[in-house]
Amino acid sequence: MEKIVSTGIDELDCLLGGGFKRGDIILIIGPPGSGKTILSATIVHNIAVKYGVPCLYVSFTELKHEFYENMARLGLDFEELERRGLIKYVSMPTMGVKELIEDLVDYIITSAEDIDAKVVVLDPLTPITLMGDPLRARVLFHNTFMRLSKLGGRLLILTGDIPLEEKTRLYSVDFIADYIIRLEYSLTRSGVLRRVMKILKSRGKEVLYNKLDFEIFEEHGIHIATWHRPLSAPSLTTGEHVPTGIDGLDKVLAGGLKRGSSTLIYGPPGSGKSWILLSIACKCTLNGEKVSYISMMRREEAILSQLRWIMEDLDKVLEKLRVVYVDHHDLTPARLHRILSGIYREFTPSIIVWEGIQNYVLNIDFNDFYWQLKEYLNINRSVKSVMVSSLTEGLLSERAFRAFLELFDNVFKLSLEKRRDEVFRCILAEKIVGAFLPSKRSAIVTLSREGLRVDW
């Protein structure tokens, strides 16, 4: 096994500089149900598969058949690893007599040495830390952990139950641990469970992003949201700008949407946000761009119905356009990241159009969303991907709204204005990157079967 051991979870490996080192002690703590067993099982499974080395998994709470069945639902086949001699699973009873505790420790060490285990997991550590005299147990455990890890060159993974509101220590194991990963969970405003992973300690390494959203999916296991990494390289056509196909809009944008830029179109309901977004999406596909249209407001059928009114030859547009409906009620940051990852991986769009982004903002803490979106837009700039989004005005606080607007390169405001007996849709350029704002800041937006026109 190599000196740097990959966890098999790409996002975690990226943060750790490739993975853990042989001899490291990793302490995974959190309340019951936070995912400690699943995370430790995923790591040991991936290491066994990748490196073909034997591993020892000691559980104080689950019988082997229960553990194997639970992990199989997540796509982790421990039965196959056992048949190949790559895993030894030991289900241990909890004992309280100090002599038996010493026998237990000796048994764990002997088991690891007998199979030449390169990874040892003790899950959870909590029951054995409550056995016998605390001082005697502390010395015994520290000596055992050092023998298993540092002296034996093994990766040692320990888990422990810590209530959400507590910061108690497990017999001071945190002092000898090289890494401490704390798992937590909370509820979003719509009542969906949101899981968070915090890297509290990383000996000898600086971890820039120590708070990560993650999710556990059936058949796929753990997915970690890392917004600072490119989701995928987009499929780019030539040219520094992407024409929107709306003459007046392209004029003020100095030729179109600059590659790597982000554009926000906001206004009240009925001001024409979706018409502009869909018009841009259609025109860009006809120019050879691959566009993903993501809506958190309407299902695909409603969007396609509106598209048919804009474009008669819809089949030609759909060759380069993917429409995706995302139910914001079920969203967490990790679930959204997984959806976007799938879109980028399977379709590699050069343009992302995001309708109704405010629905997601209202579901989670704004500060979390702000930093996630900031990282996402920064990465988009680096890979020259274009993002166009809409926001319904009046749903965020003034402070949050202004902070949100600052993230975008181009900002346009839509409004409804009554002039004499008629109501007009108007567009106002508030901010444009790399171009001067037009002397005539406001223009009328006209919609007809011939297309959308902005009379700047």
Kindly give the pairing relationship between strand 4-5 and strand 25-30: unpaired
pLDDT for 242 equals 92
Classify domain 4-225 by CATH architecture: 3-Layer(aba) Sandwich (3.40)
Q: Provide, rounded to the nearest whole percent, the portion of the chain with pLDDT above 70.
A: 90
pLDDT for 121 equals 97
8-state DSSP, 328 = G
Backbone angles phi, psi at 234, to 5 degrees: -75, 160
Q: Rounded mean pLDDT of 349-355?
A: 94
User: Averaging pLDDT over each range in 81-85, 89-93, 370-374, which range is the top one?
Assistant: 81-85
Per-residue model confidence as pLDDT tens digits over 238-280: 678 999 989 889 988 988 999 999 999 999 999 999 999 999 9
Q: Rounded mean pLDDT of 307-324?
A: 89
Residues of the chain with CATH 3.40.50.300: 4-225, 241-455
Q: Rounded mean pLDDT of 39-68?
A: 96
Q: Which two tokens stand for residue 22?
A: 């042989």
pLDDT for 233 equals 63
pLDDT for 99 equals 55
pLDDT greater than 70 at residue 130? no
Strands (E), 110-248: 119-123, 155-161, 179-187, 193-202, 211-217, 221-225, 241-242
Per-residue model confidence as pLDDT tens digits over 159-188: 988 765 555 455 567 788 999 999 999 999
pLDDT for 311 equals 82
Q: Rounded mean pLDDT of 366-383?
A: 88
pLDDT for 97 equals 53
User: Averaging pLDDT over each range in 73-87, 169-183, 212-226, 242-256, which range is the top one?
Assistant: 73-87
Q: Does domain 241-455 have CATH number 3.30.360.10?
A: no
Say how far apart CA 65 and CA 130 lie, in whole Å: 26
